Amino acid sequence: MITAERKPFDEIYAMTEGHDKVLVAGCDTCVAVCLTGGEKEAEILAAELRIKAKEDGRDVQIEHTAAIRQCEWEYLDAIAAKVEEYPAVLSMACGIGIQSMAEKFAPKLVLPAVNTNMLGMPQEHAVWLERCGACGECVIGDTAGICPVVRCSKSLMNGPCGGSHDGKCEVTTPEKGDIDCAWALIWDRLKAQGREELMLVNRPPKNWSKSSSGGPRKMVREEAKPV
């Protein structure tokens, strides 16, 4: 799923300045599941913004709404009438949903209230782990189902590097702390699968043109188009 975190309140509040009507728009799919931007979180953010605006003596109308999915225009029709009433919209969807809103309702001002951060797997309640970078050319069939692109700190296609020690990566940050060496994990699982020989495969450099670093991508499924 796509995960996101709410921006700091002061940053969001600053975006409302200069507007007398602001709509906070939640999205009830990925960002709702990661407890960031669903209808409930949109309602809470709108209430917090109203309180702060009142403290500041501002005369501003701040309400909330939510779409089932902001990334699909058919779901935006349900909130279109309300969106039209507000000159500024704070979207709590992922980066796709925010841009979908901005495009559908252009030239309306649609502002981001969250930072989209990763494609994550839930580990436990309120904890998500990055598992895929949408690189466009999946290699995990040969790496025991473990993604070297996002789980190796250097995105190495042939690891481990010399910084692997006791199963841990040399890269640590205050936020991440100790992290497992992806290639140590790959080795352990390949061994358990009886496929250790795959560690000896010399993988070619990754073709990054298939990732978003090669420009925006487009996916077309001709066979799925209506005839």
Q: With beta carbons less than 8 A apart as the criterion, state whether 164 and 156 touch.
A: no
Q: In the 8-state DSSP scheme, what is residue 203?
A: P
- Nearer Cβ to ligand SF4 (14/138): 138
- Number of residues in contact with ligand SF4 under rule CB under 6 A: 25
Q: Which of 85, 163, 209, 217 binds ligand SF4 (CB under 6 A)?
A: 163
- Nearer Cβ to ligand SF4 (113/147): 147
182 contacts ligand SF4 (rule: CB under 6 A): yes
Taking CB under 6 A as the binding criterion, the range among 58-66, 78-86, 167-175, 197-205 that sits at the site for ligand SF4 is 167-175
- Burial label for 126, CB within 10 Å (0-12, 13-18, 19+), is exposed
70 contacts ligand SF4 (rule: CB under 6 A): no
Nearest to 105 by CA among 67, 73, 64, 63: 73
Q: Which of 164, 186, 187, 190 binds ligand SF4 (CB under 6 A)?
A: 164
CA distances from residue 149 to 78, 186, 197, 205 in whole angstroms, order as listed: 38, 12, 20, 12
Q: Which of 29, 70, 116, 153 binds ligand SF4 (CB under 6 A)?
A: 153
Q: With beta carbons less than 8 A apart as the criterion, state whether 2 and 70 touch.
A: no
Which pairing describes strands 61-67 and 109-112: parallel, antiparallel, or unpaired?
unpaired
Run of H or E including 67 = strand 61-67
- Nearer Cβ to ligand SF4 (46/182): 182
For tokens 């225009």, name the residue: 73
Q: Which of 76, 181, 186, 190 binds ligand SF4 (CB under 6 A)?
A: 181
For tokens 């007398």, name the residue: 20
- Nearer Cβ to ligand SF4 (101/182): 182
Q: In whole angstroms, how close is the CB of 170 to ligand SF4 at the nearest point?
A: 5
168, β-bridge pairs: 165, 180
Binding mask 103-142 for ligand SF4 (x = CB under 6 A): -----------------------------xxxx--xxx--
Q: Which residues bind ligand SF4 (CB under 6 A)?
A: 132-135, 138-140, 147, 149-150, 152-154, 156, 159-161, 163-164, 169-171, 181-183
